[in-house]
Amino acid sequence: MLFKIKLYKPSNKHNKKPLSFSGFFIACVTLVSLQGVSQLSGAQTAQAAQTNQTTNASQQQQQNQEQESLLDSLFGKNLRESLDIAFGAKEDITLTPAQAQALPYAANYMKLGDFPRSLVVLGEADNLVQGHNPDAVYAQRLQWFTTSNEIIETVQGRVQSLENLKHAKVKSIWLAQAPSSGMRASHAKQISKQASNQLSYDFRKTSAFHTEHKPHFVTVRQSYRVVKSQREQSLAMPNGTTLNVLVTEEQLYPIADQNDNSSTQAIATNEFYRDLASGRVVQSKQWLGPELGYFEMTEVQPFNGVGGPTQNWGYSALPAQSGFQDLKTQDGSDPTQYRQLRINVTQQATTQQETTQQETTQQQEASPTSQLFNGLFFGKIPNQPGQPNPRSLRLNDVVTEFHRLGLEQVPYAPLTRLHSPKLDQWFSGRKAGMLVRLRMLEQTYKADGETELAAQAAELTQAFQSWPLRATYIHGWSLGDARINQATNKALNLADAAVSNSVIPSYELSLNAAPQTSSLQVGLATQLSDHEQVYVTDAHGQISLVPLQSYNSTAEQRALAHQPGALVLHSIADKDLPKGFRDVNYQLAMFLQHWDWSANSATSSATASTKTTTQPDTTELAHAKH
């Protein structure tokens, strides 16, 4: 017998999936769906064919190009041509009610900014539950894929993330903080209820140092004060039905003017239309900043829901205050054929107090809370239809199964980390080596009579020892991207995890909430303004040497030191480092790539070596763009 956790095996009872992970299969289904719609108007098609026989072929071709609708132009073309039209449309796609009802898969209209409206098919869906109870589903995490691998993720109608965008400036965005829902159908009678809250998105953009040959990015947080109002109305849907909906409007105001609502006009207004009967958000319009504009979404064909947990369940929650333990087989079987998956879910607890419309919601950061889960899986996934050989267990497999156990909140993708005991062993040697170098640096300064620099080296050594560091294989991870891009879907192989032949190889996945502050300052207990330049390690592992003074930098360059989830190293200036130690600061910045965000001290500002910063002045940034 093994440990009491059941092994995850493919169940004979398949859960209903919107589509396969394969981008090619998504494309095929889209084409088949649209071809099925065309059969609804067979009589009209036959009549058109009869008319074609009486006209000149070249004239008819020109007439068809001018008069055919965008949807009709999909029929009769090969797969690639059809998809280029469907997802690279130059005009809005519009289905008739009959065509919408005939779609066999969940689909939505989606429109971003000034781009034409597209028809997008649902790619994947995962449940979100309350209290880690698989039966207490309160929402679904929906992922929509396009043929160019753009990923739109929504929860209760709100954009959770946009990734792999082909926008010239913005590449990805993630929801960092959402206002309280207030959109449940049970609140329908509270039509005039108003509340203030905060909405924040993190935008991954090209930075001031970005070039075509050397890409460089910066994460910028945009936050708004939200004032809500609600009303009921009827809403006509694309499939011909009319629904009674609860409309929640969110007026977005600048955070800087939080104490004076009367003198400031709303920047934008979000709208969410929730069906009172089913509780689904069937239509929404959301402001995603000046670069992207509004994101609009309308339900064309609803999704019926996700299946329950598999019978061969792979996870169990661990008791509070309990830690992870190594597992061994008890029946003499080879432990290396299994994988133990340890998951640490960290959520940022906040205390929230709703006030009047004129006052913003007050939120105070509290210590993060963690919940541990233990899972056991086979290291190889048995053959599936169309798959000649068993394949390695991958990160996507275990996270998908973890959703079935009951994930409560969508984690902040840029702070997802993956560890293993074997990687920990290797990393401990590197840390010991760096500690020796820092102590040698202190002794070198003392030998040269540089007492002030020697004291700074000693302080830096002490700070380094207090950092919550843990080696990670990944710096940020997207579930949606892993489902369509195997390069980002790490194989949980034996070589990276096995530490002995008697223990089941294990990995630990750290799922974290968005950072509440814009950056953390670590190292020397100095002010940021004391430095001419600093090394900045962002949440994605990118290291940048950032100038800080007005005479050697611009506001956009200095913004790199204020990124959410960035670690700003306060250290001895490079020019003051002696020969043989010139790379010390860069080496320390590389260690900061392995900051453990699941540790309580990782987000604490109580220690002298760790300080938080706020966002740079947005007015200064605005002037810098002109």
pLDDT mean over 48-64: 48
Helix then strand then coil, in percent of the chain rounded to 5, is: 30, 30, 45
pLDDT mean over 232-247: 97
Give every strand in the sheet of 610-613, ordered side by side.
543-547, 533-537, 566-570, 519-523, 610-613
Contact 169, 286 (CB under 8 A): no
Q: Which sequence spans correspond to the domains of the chain?
A: 23-301, 327-420+475-511, 423-472+517-624
Separation between Cα atoms, residue 563 and residue 613, nearest integer Å: 9
Q: Which of 443, 454, 469, 426 is nearest to 602 (CA)?
A: 469
Q: Give residue 309's identity as a one-letter amino acid code.
A: P
**pLDDT value at position 36?**
38
Contact 346, 598 (CB under 8 A): yes
- Both tokens of residue 262? 């009367």
* pLDDT tens, position by position, 124-168: 999 888 877 777 888 899 999 887 889 999 999 999 999 999 999
The H or E element containing residue 272 is strand 268-275
Q: Is 515 buried (19+), middle (13-18) or exposed (0-12) by CB count in 10 A?
A: buried
Q: Poorest-confidence range of 195-199, 285-289, 317-321?
A: 317-321
Q: Which of 183, 180, 152, 185 is nearest to 166 (CA)?
A: 152
Confidence tier at 320 by pLDDT (50, 70, 90): low
Specify whether domain 23-301 bears CATH 2.40.360.10.
Answer: yes
Contact 350, 366 (CB under 8 A): yes
**pLDDT value at position 21?**
39
pLDDT mean over 536-540: 98
Separation between Cα atoms, residue 470 and residue 424, nearest integer Å: 7
pLDDT mean over 212-222: 95
pTM exceeds 0.85: no
Parallel/antiparallel/unpaired status of strands 268-275 and 417-419: unpaired
Torsion of CA 165, 171, 176, 177, to 10 degrees: -60
**pLDDT value at position 50?**
45
Contact 403, 126 (CB under 8 A): yes
Residues paired with residue 226 on neighbouring β-strands, in sequence order: 197, 252
How many helices (H) and strands (E) the chain has is answered by 13, 26
- Note the Cα 171 to chain centre separation in Å: 12
**Percentage of the residues of the chain whose pLDDT score is greater than 90:** 55
**pLDDT value at position 475?**
97
**pLDDT value at position 508?**
96
**pLDDT value at position 180?**
79
Tally of CA atoms within 13 A in the half-sphere of 193 that contains its CB: 14
3-state secondary structure 144-209: EECCCCCEEEEECCEEEEEECCCCCCEEEEEEEECCCCCCCHHHCCCCCCCCEEEEEEEEEEECCC
The H or E element containing residue 353 is strand 350-353
Separation between Cα atoms, residue 329 and residue 11, nearest integer Å: 23
The per-residue pLDDT of the chain, averaged, comes to 79
* pLDDT tens, position by position, 556-570: 999 999 999 999 999
Strand, helix or coil at 125?
strand
- Both tokens of residue 226? 């939200």
Confidence tier at 308 by pLDDT (50, 70, 90): low
Contact 574, 582 (CB under 8 A): yes
Separation between Cα atoms, residue 243 and residue 277, nearest integer Å: 8
pLDDT mean over 425-443: 97
* pLDDT tens, position by position, 6-29: 344 433 333 334 544 333 333 333
Contact 562, 519 (CB under 8 A): yes
- Asked if residue 291 has pLDDT above 80, the reply is yes
pLDDT mean over 321-326: 75
pLDDT mean over 348-364: 42
Separation between Cα atoms, residue 440 and residue 461, nearest integer Å: 10
Other Cβ atoms less than 10 A from the Cβ of 497: the count is 22
pLDDT mean over 342-346: 91
**Percentage of the residues of the chain whose pLDDT score is greater than 70:** 71
Torsion angles phi and psi, residue 262, rounded to 5: -70, -30
- Both tokens of residue 138? 């309160």
- Asked if residue 480 has pLDDT above 70, the reply is yes
Confidence tier at 332 by pLDDT (50, 70, 90): confident
**pLDDT value at position 401?**
87
- Both tokens of residue 47? 């009549």
**pLDDT value at position 255?**
86
pLDDT mean over 436-443: 98
